C-alpha cells in the first residue's frame, strides 16, 4: 500500500529519514499511516480490529506499517493514536466501581438528571441508568455561593468518613462535584487532598479541573464520565506504551482529542473525557487538510466505515466545534443520535452527525414487514456474511458485493477473499424471501435505505443548520465512503466530490496533520453592557498562563505556542449560548503568544455585534436591541506541530487505458439494472487522467463508484475529483 517501489522504501530506511506514524483504532478495522518527513512518501496498513483487546490490533497495525515501509522503529519521531476505547467502555458498561461526592442535599443529582426526553410522546422511553448508582453517591456538608464565597465551611471529618466508606466498597475512582465549585475550587481541592491522604491509590476527578463551568448536572456528568473511564484509559495507554517500548519505539505517544487536537498520553490518561470522539474527529481533520490543499475552505466531511457513517461540517477552514455532546446514546434508524438519550459531556467536540450505516450495518425485516438497515452492526467479529468468519446476517457490504460493486478477489488488496454466493444466500433468506423479492432487488433496497439514512445525516449537518450543500465540497473516505458518496452528492446537489488516496486510512492521516491543543474555560455570567474589560482581560491571561505552563511541560517552544480567545454569549433569559471568537481570533496568521493582545470595551462591543450575526446565522433570527450576557470565557492553547509534506504524483507517462483492468457487470439503480462497467486500478492512474462513469476504481483499502454522467479527474496529489461530466 505504498506509493513508491520497494527499492525506494529500502533507500529511505537506509538514509536515516524520520517518520510520522498515526494509528486509528476503529470498530471494524485498525488503520496505520506512515509518512516520511523528508520525501513525503506514505505507507499504509489495515488490519482487523480486536474488540476484546484493542491494543492487539494497534500493535499489529504498527508492525505491518513498519514492515511495509521497511522502517526501523527508532526512526519514528512522531506517533499519534486515535481510539474508541473510552467510548466503548461506557457503552459496554465495562467501567470499574466509581463513586460520586457532592454537596449535602444534592446526592440525587445523577438520578434526576434532566427532564427533557429524546422522544416526547414515547411512553416506553427509559432513561439510561446513572453511571454511578445511588448507594455510591456521597454528600458532604459544605456550601459556596454563586460567586464562590463560603456559606458553610467544608466538614473535613465527613470527608474522612466518606474515604473510609470508599475503601470498604473497594472503589477505585471518584468524581467530586461540589455546588459552585467552578467559581471557587478550594473545597473540591481540599476534598481531593483528604481522600488521597486516606487512600493514595484512589483516582480522583475534580469538576473544577475537568469542566469548570456552571450548570451543575452537566458539570457533574462530565466529571463522572471522566472518573469512570480514567482507570480503563490509563491502563490501556500504559499497555500501549509498554508494547511500544518492546517494539523499540521511543517517540512520545500522543492521543487524538474530540476537539481535533492532540494531547500527550499523560494528559489523556488523567482527562480521558476529552478523547471520547477521538477517531471520528481525526477524520474531519483529515478532510479539512486534504480539501485545504485544493483551496476548498467550506466542505462536508463524509466518513463511512464498518460500523457507522459520520458527517461533519468545515466552514472557513475550521471544523465546527460544539459542547453539546452525549455519549452512550443509541443511533435511531434514519435519525442518528437523538438529544437527551445519552450521558451529556461539556467538553469541546467536533460537531458530527453519526448514523448506524457502516459497511457492517445489518439489514433486517421488522415485525411490520419493512426492510430496515442498522443501527446494529456485525462489527469486526464475525463481520459480514461474505467475510466467511461466521456472520449470518446480511450487511451493506454483502449488498454491495451482490450488486457487483466490490471485487471479491481484491478486498484489502486480495488479502481477504469475499464469498459472493454466501452473501446472496444470506440476503435471500433474511431479506428477499420475507419481502417477496429476488436477492438483487433486496440488495438494492438495502443500499437505497442506507443512502437515505446518510442523506438525512448530511441534511442535518447542512440544510438544518443553515448551510447550502450546493456551495460545499464533499471529502469522502472510510473503507465504504467512496462507494456511496457519488450517489449522495447527486441527491444533495453537491458539485464536487474529493476522494483522497487510500481513503480507508484517511482518518489515520488526520492524526498526523493537527496540533497539540488544550481547552480552558471559566464561567462568569456578566451583562455585556457593564462588563469590566480589565477583569476579563485578567481572566484570559490567567487561563493563557495555565495553557503556557501545560505546553511548556510538553516541550513546546514559545514561538510554536498560540492562544485563541472566545466568549460564549446569550440573550438575557436564554438557556443556551453561542460561541464567538474574539476579533482577530478567527484567522490563523502564525504563532501568537497573546502577550501583545489588547482587550477593551471596543473589543467587547465588536464581539457582541458578531454574536448577533452568529445567532441569526444559527437560528434564523437575531435581536440586536436585546440585552446580551457574557457567560463562559474560553482559551484554546495550541502547540504547533510540523505537518508532514504530502507527495505529488505525475502522469506516469501512460494513459488511462493502462489502468483499465477490464469490465464487470455492476448494478446501478438509476440505469434500471446491471451495466457493463469499466474497472480501473487506482494505483496505475496518474495526474491528469480522467475516468468517465459509469466506472469502478479499485484500490487496496477502498473502492470508488463513479456514476454515469460523472467523471473522475486525478489531481497532482492523487485525489479523485468527481464532478458532473461537463464540469470536471
Query: pLDDT tens-digit profile of 139-151?
Result: 999 999 999 999 9
The verdict on 620 and 695 lying in the same domain is: no
Q: Over the stretch 459-508, which tens digit does the pLDDT of each residue have?
A: 988 988 878 999 999 999 998 999 999 999 999 999 999 999 999 888 88
pLDDT at 581 over 50: yes
The verdict on 108 and 228 lying in the same domain is: yes
642 vs 372 pLDDT, higher one: 372
Residues in the chain: 728
Task: Decide which of 233, 252, 267 is a domain's last residue.
Answer: 233
pLDDT at site 591: 42
User: Does residue 397 lie in a domain region?
Assistant: no
Distance between CA atoms of residues 632 and 212, nearest Å = 10
User: Does residue 554 lie in a domain region?
Assistant: yes
pLDDT at site 589: 38
pLDDT at 593 over 50: no
User: Does residue 644 lie in a domain region?
Assistant: no
Count CA atoms closer than 13 A to 652's CA, side-chain side. Answer: 23
pLDDT at site 5: 30
**All three cell numbers of 694:** 459509469
The verdict on 19 and 73 lying in the same domain is: yes
pLDDT at 1 over 50: no
Q: Are 156 and 378 in contact (CB under 8 A)?
A: no
Distance set, CA 535 to CA 302, 577, 597, 600 (Å): 43, 21, 14, 10
pLDDT at site 340: 60
Distance between CA atoms of residues 532 and 506, nearest Å = 46
Q: Which residues have CB under 8 Å from 684's CB, separation 6+?
A: 652, 654, 658, 659
pLDDT at 66 over 50: yes
User: How many independent structural domains does the chain possess?
Assistant: 4
Q: Assign residue 264 the CATH number of its domain.
A: 3.30.420.40
Distance between CA atoms of residues 39 and 154, nearest Å = 60
Q: Over the stretch 388-403, which tens digit does the pLDDT of each residue have?
A: 988 899 999 999 999 9
Residue 490, classified by CB atoms within 10 Å of its CB into exposed (0-12), middle (13-18) or buried (19+), is middle
Strands 299-304 and 352-355, bridge-based pairing: unpaired
What are 336's strand-pairing partners?
A: 332
At 596, the pLDDT band (50, 70, 90 cuts) reads: very low
What are 14's strand-pairing partners?
A: none
pLDDT at site 10: 30
- Give the mean pLDDT of 287-316: 92
Task: Decide which of 215, 233, 251 is a domain's last residue.
Answer: 233
Please name the helix (run of DSSP H) or strand (run of DSSP E) that holds residue 118, with its range, or none.
none
Distance between CA atoms of residues 437 and 461, nearest Å = 34
Task: Decide which of 639, 673, 704 is a domain's last residue.
Answer: 639
Q: Over the stretch 3-28, which tens digit does the pLDDT of each residue have?
A: 433 333 333 333 356 889 999 988 77
At 329, the pLDDT band (50, 70, 90 cuts) reads: low
User: Does residue 646 lie in a domain region?
Assistant: no
* Cα radius of gyration rounded to whole Å, the chain: 26
User: Does residue 107 lie in a domain region?
Assistant: yes
Where in the sequence is the domain holding 67, given as residue range(s)? 6-89+237-275
17 vs 168 pLDDT, higher one: 168
User: Does residue 258 lie in a domain region?
Assistant: yes
pLDDT at 585 over 60: no
What are 413's strand-pairing partners?
A: none
User: Does residue 460 lie in a domain region?
Assistant: no
pLDDT at site 33: 92
pLDDT at site 382: 86
Torsion of CA 327, 504, 284, 591, to 10 degrees: 120
User: Does residue 621 lie in a domain region?
Assistant: yes
What are 462's strand-pairing partners?
A: none
Distance between CA atoms of residues 233 and 241, nearest Å = 12
pLDDT at site 728: 40
The verdict on 632 and 671 lying in the same domain is: no
The verdict on 223 and 241 lying in the same domain is: no
Distance between CA atoms of residues 48 and 57, nearest Å = 7
Q: Over the stretch 619-674, which tens digit does the pLDDT of each residue have?
A: 888 899 999 999 999 999 999 988 877 788 887 778 888 899 999 999 999 888 99
At 2, the pLDDT band (50, 70, 90 cuts) reads: very low
The verdict on 543 and 595 lying in the same domain is: yes
Q: Over the stretch 335-371, which tens digit does the pLDDT of each residue have?
A: 444 556 678 899 999 988 888 888 989 999 998 899 9
Looking at the chain, the whole-number percentage of residues with pLDDT higher than 90 is 61
- Give the mean pLDDT of 227-249: 92
The reported pTM is 0.86
* SS3 (DSSP) at 507: helix
The verdict on 120 and 164 lying in the same domain is: yes
Amino acid at each position: 500500500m505504498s506509493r513508491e517501489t520497494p527499492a525506494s522504501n529500502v533507500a529511505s530506511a537506509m538514509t536515516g529519514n524520520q517518520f510520522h506514524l498515526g494509528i486509528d483504532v476503529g470498530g471494524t478495522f485498525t488503520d496505520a499511516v506512515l509518512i516520511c518527513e523528508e520525501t513525503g512518501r506514505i505507507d499504509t496498513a489495515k488490519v482487523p480490529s480486536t474488540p476484546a483487546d484493542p491494543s492487539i490490533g494497534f500493535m499489529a497495525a504498527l508492525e505491518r506499517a513498519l514492515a511495509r515501509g521497511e522502517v526501523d522503529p527508532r526512526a519514528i519521531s512522531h506517533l499519534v493514536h486515535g481510539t474508541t476505547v473510552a467510548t466503548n467502555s461506557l457503552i459496554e458498561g465495562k467501567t470499574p466501581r466509581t463513586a460520586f461526592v457532592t454537596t449535602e442535599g444534592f446526592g440525587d443529582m445523577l438520578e434526576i438528571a434532566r427532564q427533557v426526553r429524546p422522544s416526547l410522546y414515547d411512553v416506553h422511553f427509559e432513561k439510561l441508568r446513572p453511571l454511578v448508582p445511588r448507594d455510591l453517591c456521597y454528600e458532604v456538608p459544605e456550601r459556596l455561593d454563586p460567586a464562590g464565597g463560603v456559606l458553610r465551611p467544608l466538614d473535613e471529618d465527613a470527608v474522612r468518613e466518606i474515604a473510609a466508606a470508599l475503601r470498604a466498597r473497594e472503589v477505585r475512582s471518584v468524581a467530586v462535584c461540589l455546588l459552585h465549585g467552578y467559581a471557587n475550587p478550594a473545597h473540591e481541592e481540599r476534598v481531593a487532598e483528604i481522600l488521597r491522604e486516606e487512600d493514595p491509590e484512589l483516582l480522583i476527578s475534580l469538576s473544577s479541573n475537568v469542566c469548570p463551568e456552571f450548570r451543575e448536572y452537566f458539570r457533574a456528568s462530565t466529571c463522572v464520565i471522566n472518573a469512570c473511564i480514567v482507570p480503563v484509559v490509563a491502563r490501556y495507554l500504559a499497555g500501549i506504551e509498554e508494547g511500544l517500548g518492546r517494539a523499540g519505539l521511543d517517540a512520545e505517544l500522543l492521543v487524538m482529542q474530540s476537539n481535533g487536537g492532540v494531547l500527550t498520553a499523560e494528559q489523556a490518561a488523567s482527562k480521558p473525557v476529552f478523547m471520547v470522539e477521538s477517531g471520528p474527529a481525526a477524520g474531519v481533520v483529515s478532510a479539512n487538510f486534504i480539501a485545504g490543499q485544493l483551496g476548498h475552505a467550506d466542505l462536508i466531511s463524509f466518513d463511512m466505515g464498518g460500523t457507522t457513517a459520520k458527517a461533519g461540517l468545515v466552514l472557513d477552514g475550521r471544523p465546527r466545534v460544539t459542547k453539546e455532546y452525549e455519549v452512550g446514546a443509541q443511533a435511531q434508524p434514519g435519525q442518528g443520535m437523538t438529544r437527551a438519550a445519552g450521558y451529556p459531556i461539556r467538553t469541546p467536540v467536533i460537531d458530527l452527525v453519526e448514523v448506524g450505516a457502516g459497511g457492517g450495518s445489518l439489514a433486517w425485516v421488522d415485525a411490520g414487514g419493512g426492510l430496515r438497515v442498522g443501527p446494529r452492526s456485525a462489527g469486526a467479529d464475525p463481520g459480514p456474511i461474505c467475510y466467511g468468519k461466521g456472520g449470518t446476517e446480511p450487511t451493506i457490504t454483502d449488498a454491495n458485493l451482490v450488486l457487483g460493486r466490490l471485487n471479491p478477489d481484491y478486498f484489502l488488496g486480495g488479502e481477504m477473499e469475499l464469498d459472493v454466493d454466501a452473501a446472496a444466500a444470506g440476503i435471500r433468506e433474511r431479506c428477499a424471501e420475507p419481502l417477496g423479492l429476488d436477492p438483487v432487488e433486496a440488495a438494492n433496497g438495502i443500499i437505497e435505505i442506507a443512502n437515505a439514512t446518510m442523506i438525512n445525516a448530511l441534511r442535518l449537518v447542512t440544510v438544518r443548520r443553515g448551510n447550502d450543500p450546493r456551495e460545499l465540497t464533499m471529502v469522502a473516505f472510510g473503507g465504504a465512503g467512496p462507494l456511496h458518496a457519488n450517489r449522495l452528492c447527486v441527491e444533495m446537489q453537491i458539485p464536487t466530490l474529493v476522494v483522497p488516496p487510500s481513503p480507508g486510512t484517511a482518518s489515520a492521516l488526520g492524526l498526523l496533520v493537527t496540533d497539540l491543543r488544550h481547552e480552558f474555560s471559566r464561567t462568569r455570567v456578566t451583562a455585556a453592557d457593564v462588563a469590566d474589560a480589565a477583569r476579563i482581560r485578567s481572566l484570559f491571561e490567567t487561563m493563557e498562563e495555565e495553557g503556557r505552563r501545560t505546553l511548556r511541560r510538553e516541550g513546546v517552544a514559545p514561538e510554536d505556542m498560540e492562544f485563541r480567545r472566545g466568549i460564549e454569549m446569550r440573550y438575557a433569559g436564554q438557556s443556551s449560548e453561542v460561541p464567538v471568537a474574539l476579533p482577530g481570533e478567527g484567522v490563523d496568521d502564525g504563532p501568537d503568544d497573546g502577550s501583545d493582545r489588547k482587550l477593551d470595551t471596543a473589543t467587547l462591543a465588536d464581539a457582541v455585534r458578531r454574536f448577533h450575526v452568529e445567532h441569526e446565522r444559527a437560528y434564523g433570527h437575531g435581536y440586536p436591541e436585546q440585552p446580551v450576557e457574557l457567560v463562559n470565557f474560553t482559551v484554546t492553547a495550541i502547540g504547533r506541530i510540523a505537518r508532514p509534506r504530502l507527495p505529488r504524483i505525475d502522469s506516469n507517462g501512460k494513459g488511462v487505458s493502462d489502468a483499465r483492468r477490464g469490465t464487470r457487470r455492476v448494478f446501478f439503480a438509476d440505469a434500471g439494472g446491471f451495466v457493463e462497467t469499466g474497472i480501473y486500478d487506482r494505483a496505475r492512474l496518474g495526474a491528469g487522467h480522467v475516468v468517465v462513469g459509469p466506472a469502478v476504481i479499485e484500490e487496496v483499502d477502498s473502492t470508488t463508484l463513479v456514476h454515469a454522467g460523472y467523471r473522475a479527474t486525478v489531481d497532482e496529489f492523487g485525489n479523485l475529483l468527481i464532478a458532473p461530466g461537463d464540469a470536471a
